[in-house]
Amino acid sequence: MTSPAIEVKEPIIHPGKIMVSYRHSAGIAGSRFLRGLQKKKILGIRCHACNRVYVPPQIVCPECYNQLDEWVELDGRGTLLTYTVIYYSLPVHPVDPPFIIGSILVDGADTALGHLISEVEINSLEIGMVVEPVFKETPEGNILDIKYFRPV
């Protein structure tokens, strides 16, 4: 016995929602980094073997696989490596468009931190410009404790 052929002209779409409650652990390195932000400090972590400093920190060096435990405090100034301008709105965005997301190489670090850039006109942005963090008045222990980075 053979099955009759079923011709599909258009997909069937079911407009449903799945709401899932969850809790996410920032882990050992992430938690310490966020606690540092809560104190208006930017913390990195250095690898003993290859001397690289990671911001945001992680617990294992991706270059040599050594366990990382040497914490360093950085002043937060850095260099804008690249950026993009967001012109559309999503409910998860921290600010209304247009806004700028930049990749910042914090002085003393070997990896970049992505974050908001503000207090600058879009057409005045320059790759290589020096930026500094602006912290919220009342930090809460999350990445948005840094409100944004601004040109120095």
pLDDT tens-digit readout, 20-64:
888 888 999 999 999 999 999 999 999 999 999 999 999 999 999
Residue type, 71: W
Statement: residue 8 has pLDDT above 80: no
- Classify residue 86 by its DSSP letter: E
pLDDT tens-digit readout, 84-101:
999 999 988 999 999 999
Question: How far is CA 86 from its chain centroid?
Answer: 15
Contact (Cβ atoms closer than 8 angstroms) between residue 104 and residue 82: no
- The per-residue pLDDT for 80 is 98
Nearby residues of 141 by Cβ (< 8 Å), 6 or more positions away: 34, 35, 37, 38
pTM above 0.75, yes or no: yes
7 burial type by CB count under 10 A (0-12 exposed, 13-18 middle, 19+ buried): exposed
Domain definitions of the chain by residue range: 27-151
